[in-house]
Amino acid sequence: MKKAYLILEGGRIFEGYDFGAETASCGELVFNTSVVGYLEAITEPAYRGQILLQTFPLIGNYGVIPSDFNGECTISGYVVREWCDNPSNFRCEGNLDDYLKSVGVPGIWGVDTRELTRLIRENGEMKAMIAPEVPADLSVIESYKAADLVASVSIKEKKVYEAKGEKKHSVTLVDYGTRKAVIEDLTKLGCEVTVVPYNTKAADILAENPDAVILSEGPGDPKANPEAIEEIKSLMGKTVIFGIGLGHQMLALANGCDTYKMNHGHRGGNQPVSELNGTHTWITTQNHSYAVDSSSVKAPAVVVMENTNDKTCEGIEYEGLKAFSVQFAPETAWVPLTPNALYEKLINLMEEN
C-alpha cells in the first residue's frame, strides 16, 4: 500500500493510502451523504472541479457498472474511508481502483471521513489537494480556481433523442451539465428531446418552435454564466420553461433574483423538500453549492418549495410566464404509485400552451 495525502487549504494534512491514479490533483472538497449511487456521483457533471468525499464508510462494493454512469467521470479526486477491492454484483464490470486509474483521477482511502465532514460543516467547503507526497509549496492549493465549468461539461453539438413510442411533444434541453436520467425520463413521456450547447442563442432555440425549454443542472456558480443568463431573459414568456439545479438558479438570476454560496451545500439522496402550499414533503437528490436567496424573489416569481432542514429555496413558479424551476433532481421526486408531479406539470403546461 502506497501512502497518499489530502492537503487542505491552510495546511492541514490527512495521511492515507492511494488508489486510483497516482497523480496530484486540486479541487474544492465537498461531501456526499448518499449510501448508494457512488457511480452516479463520480460521473455527475455538477461535480466538475471538486474533490468528492463520501460519508458512507464503504465504497465500491458493487464495482463499476458503466450503464449506471451519468456521463464521463467529472470529479478531480475521490476520498473514502474504505474501498472494496473485491466487489460482488452480477452487473459488475470492474473495480473502482482500475476505473479511476483509467480516467486519471486520484483517490485516497484510510482517512477519517467523519472528521473531514465535520470540518466542512463547521468551516465550509474548502480547496484541497490529493497527492502522492506533500508538496513543498502549498500555494498551488490556495491559488486554485475552477473556471469554465459549464463549458467543460456541456455538449459540443446539437443532438436529438427520439421519443419512446408515440411522439407527443418536442422539447429543447439547454445543456449546462445534464444527467442522462432527465433525457431518458422525458423520452419515456413521449417527448422528442433536442439537446443543445450551453451557449445556444435564444433566437435559434425559438426558431425550432419547441413546446418547452429545459434549463439543465450543472456545476459551479450560476453568476459565472452571464451570457447564458441573458439568453434565458430572451426566452421568458415565449415558451414553457422548466429549470433544474443550476438552471433553476440561472432562471432566477434572469428574473432579477439573487443567489449566494452556501456553507457546505446539499449533496446526497436524502434532502427533504416541503411544499409551502401543499402537504407533501419529498425526499430528493441534490448536488449544489449555491442557492437562490428567497428574500430576493419578487413577483411574478414566487417561492413554492423550501428545504425542510435549513429553509433554503427549493422551487419557484413564475406566475403568468409558463415557467417554473426546482433545485433538486426531478426524477428522484416520485411519490409512489402516482405520476411524477414535476413532469406532469411540464406536460400540462405544454398542452395548455
Question: Do residues 128 and 106 make contact, with C-beta atoms less than 8 angstroms apart?
Answer: no
Residues of the chain with pLDDT under 70: 332-339
Domains of the chain are 3-146 (3.50.30.20), 150-352 (3.40.50.880)
Q: Could you tell me how many residues make up the chain?
A: 353
The per-residue pLDDT for 339 is 57
The CB density around residue 37, as the number of other CB atoms within 10 Å, is 17
Can you read off the three cell numbers belonging to residue 226?
Answer: 452571464
Cα–Cα separations (whole angstroms), residue 179 to 205, 215, 269: 20, 12, 15
CA 153 to chain CA mean position, Å: 11
The per-residue pLDDT for 279 is 82
CA 8 to chain CA mean position, Å: 23
User: Looking at the DSSP assignment, which residues form a beta bridge with residue 228?
Assistant: none
The CB density around residue 133, as the number of other CB atoms within 10 Å, is 9
Supply the Cα-derived Rg of the chain in whole angstroms.
Answer: 20
The per-residue pLDDT for 287 is 95
The per-residue pLDDT for 337 is 45
Residues with Cβ within 8 Å of 258's Cβ and at least 6 positions away in sequence, in order, are: 252, 292, 293, 296
Phi first, then psi, for residue 185 (nearest 5°) are -65, -40
The per-residue pLDDT for 331 is 77
